[in-house]
């Protein structure tokens, strides 16, 4: 299982996560912040849990590229 979390309010809209993991991240045209697709929100943290382990590497790259460190990726 791969768990991805985005602390969305702090996003500066740099687009790196969208470039590196386009299957999970998309830019919002409304507020210019990244959207974690199909995620659930709880107290400002958006989370998805996926059984598709193949998404791990792309999302780790997004995590490492994010300049404000608001993406977390775990494999459990
Ligand atoms: S890499 Fe981080 S700051 Fe940049 S768009 Fe994605 S979530 Fe926002």
The CATH number assigned to the domain holding 6 equals 3.30.70.20
Rounded distance, CA 2 to CA 62, Å? 14
Rounded distance, CA 10 to CA 19, Å? 18
State the distance from the centre of ligand 1 to the C-alpha of 22, rounded, in angstroms: 12
Domain with 20 in it: 2-75
pLDDT of residue 58: 98
Which residue intervals of 1-76 are DSSP H helices? 16-20, 56-65
* Structural domain count, the chain: 1
pLDDT of residue 28: 98
pLDDT of residue 52: 98
Ligand 1, closest atom to CA 15? 5
pLDDT mean across residues, the chain: 98
Task: Report the pocket of ligand 1 as residue ranges, CB < 6 Å.
Answer: 11-17, 34, 65-68, 70-71
């Amino acid at each position: 299982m791969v768990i991805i979390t985005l602390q969305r309010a702090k996003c500066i809209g740099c687009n790196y996560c969208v470039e590196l993991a386009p299957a999970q991240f998309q830019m919002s045209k409304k507020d210019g912040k990244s959207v974690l697709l199909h995620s659930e929100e709880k107290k400002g943290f958006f989370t998805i849990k996926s059984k598709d382990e193949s998404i791990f590497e792309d999302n780790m790259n997004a995590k490492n590229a994010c300049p404000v460190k608001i993406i977390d990726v775990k494999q459990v």
